[in-house]
Amino acid sequence: MMRALTAGDPAQVGGYRIVGRLGEGGQGVVYLGEAPDGRRVAVKMLGTGLDAPDARTRFRQEIGYARRVKAFCTAQVLASGELDGLPYVVSEFVDGPSLAEVIRERGTLRGAELRRLAIGTLTALSAIHQAGVVHRDFKPGNVLLSRDGPRVIDFGISRALEESESEGDHLVGTPPYMAPEQFGGRPAGPRADMFAWAATMVAAATGTPPFGTGDVPALINRILYAEPGLGGLDDELRDLVARCLAKDPEVRPTAARALLGLLGHHVPEQRLLAEGQQSATPPPGRPPGPGRRWWLAAGAVTAALAVTAAVLLTRSAPAPGARTPASSAAPVPAPRDGRMALTSTAESKIPDTRITLYENAADPVWVSSYHDQRDGTGYPSYVRDAVTGRFGYFGGFEEPIVSPGGGYVASLSATRLRKPDFETVLIRERATGQDRHVRTVDKPDTLFHPSWSADGRRWLATVVEDREQDRVVGFAIVDPVAGSVKVTKVVGGSEVRFGWGADDRSVVYGMPGGAVRVLDLDGRPVRTFTGVGELYAGGVAGTTLGSVFATKCPKISVNVCFWDAESGGRKGEARLPAGGGYHGWLDDAHFLATVPDGKNTDVVLADATGRTVRRLAIGPKREIARVVLWFTRK
């Protein structure tokens, strides 16, 4: 519960407005803060009475430990610094009661709810231990139950594994949840966290920790010598909890091994945390993205490939000197110019799939991220490292799209659909690794169909008011450098999606009856073209045919027609093989297409007539349909 600020509390810390007090502990005070975009955060600051040099050093070390931990079922660290010589750390604010509060006020957990708690907390401990950190005070009060599942918090007394664990006669932890070795002066490593985890699960299921509470000497004696009380703990958890409560720490399983056991099936090591987090997420009122797909796009700016839909997102690279001035001094990398090579020189597998990429180092466009929508995968997303070319895990239920030039990643999380007040988009600056959540639209509005501008400086999305009816009411443009957003309300219709217009100074969208309309960035109509056919969503591309948009041809809908973005005159027509799909331009002479190939689907480079000139990828039809590949200019 938030409490009022006192006279000595700061009004602002590191750009975050301080709203109230969340708590006070042995190291300092935790405040509720508010970011400039309205997002709430937790700000922990070293107490003024603990400002000795060694206390400041320990606090800074704790910040370093917390930064090591990947944000899987934990509260993510967002920033850190010092205010008047006192160090502070800013982390994600987890909006939800603690497990201790839930047990006290509502009672014990059962069935699927208890299982999600067990999986989520094991996921958090796996992430903590992978980072070389021991929590050392795991208990119901340090587990928060958010809408997105359990989160483990408070690394206030965590320690790096390589540090000395000797604490002399000083007990570190909360006695009912402490392992036997912590009372005997022995090192308290990750296996002590597993003992505390098991004790917490017993408390969640029965209302009381396995060795009770009360007089500390008697409690310690029971922990050292007595058998634990497991109450009516379900069979699925009972055996695991019993092993984790073993007196000998070497008998207890690791967090990762325990998590694998609860998941019940083999999970590759690199995806274990994502699988655990997804399995711990409570089912929403309706599945993420109801009745819609994670839309794909393709083009010289950013392109995605998913055969569940054919959505164009394509722009040519800007001409030299045509780039918009940056809104800050931070440099934004320019996208690479040039055309795709006509032959491939290397092939590689998309990790954990049967999709093969065929690439050439000279290509100005490559697969920069992908999102796995297959059932049972946890819906993880991966982003490619610009130097090594390897794909690294980005998050579960995220839609990361790398900007042209690779300066930023923008991601919409599926969890935004459950938020009651407003939405944010995650913007990651890749040079620094800094994340910002930019506030976008207020509910009931939500965003879909994102795309980057050609120069990688602005991000566009369609604003939908009614997800049931897909009622589109406008578009939003985010400036990642300035962290600003502009929402323009203009239309009320269904199945509309906005794309960038010519030179990114306008937007386009399709209208009923085969019409296409161009608006300026303030939402004012510029021109309307009638009778051109159903628009391939995404926008205008600069090509050898001129600046064109693409539609399903009015008379032969299996063909792709290209129309001049200024006059509306027809500039060309492409014929694809039977069952083929158009996915937007990759350079000024070639577009991306999919072609059936027996049980597989070919992803190919095609010229303006639809003739295939090179294979870019191949994979089983179902995988190509459910693993969204985003192509971006390097």
Which of 51, 137, 215, 588 does the annotation list as catalytic? 137
Strand locations in 335-407 (E): 346-349, 356-359, 365-372, 380-384, 391-396, 398-402
Q: How far apart are CA 242 and CA 105, in angstroms?
A: 27
For 192, counting Cβ atoms within 10 Å of its Cβ (0-12 exposed, 13-18 middle, 19+ buried), the class is buried
Whether 78 contacts 90, CB under 8 Å: yes
* Vertex 350: Cα angle to 346 and 354 (nearest 5): 105
Whether 303 contacts 335, CB under 8 Å: no
Q: How far apart are CA 405 and CA 497, in angstroms?
A: 24
Q: How far apart are CA 406 and CA 416, in angstroms?
A: 25
Which tokens is 347 given? 């092939």
Q: How far apart are CA 598 and CA 142, in angstroms?
A: 54
505 to 322, 327, 480: CA distances (angstroms): 12, 16, 17
Q: How far apart are CA 84 and CA 69, in angstroms?
A: 27
Whether 197 contacts 244, CB under 8 Å: yes
Alpha-helical (H) ranges within 214-319 are: 216-225, 235-244, 255-263, 272-280
Give the distance from CA 314 to its chain's centroid: 24
Which has the closest alpha carbon to 287: 375, 366, 372? 375
| Residue 137 known to be catalytic | yes
Whether 213 contacts 176, CB under 8 Å: yes
Q: Which residues sit opposite 437 in a β-bridge?
A: 426
> Of all helices (H) and strands (E), which one includes residue 61?
helix 53-68
Judged by phi (left if over 0) then psi (alpha if -120 to 50, else beta), residue 433 lies in left
Q: How far apart are CA 231 and CA 237, in angstroms?
A: 12
> Of all helices (H) and strands (E), which one includes residue 65?
helix 53-68
Which tokens is 464 given? 């939908």
For 73, counting Cβ atoms within 10 Å of its Cβ (0-12 exposed, 13-18 middle, 19+ buried), the class is buried
> Of all helices (H) and strands (E), which one includes residue 200?
helix 190-206
Catalytic positions, written as ranges = 137
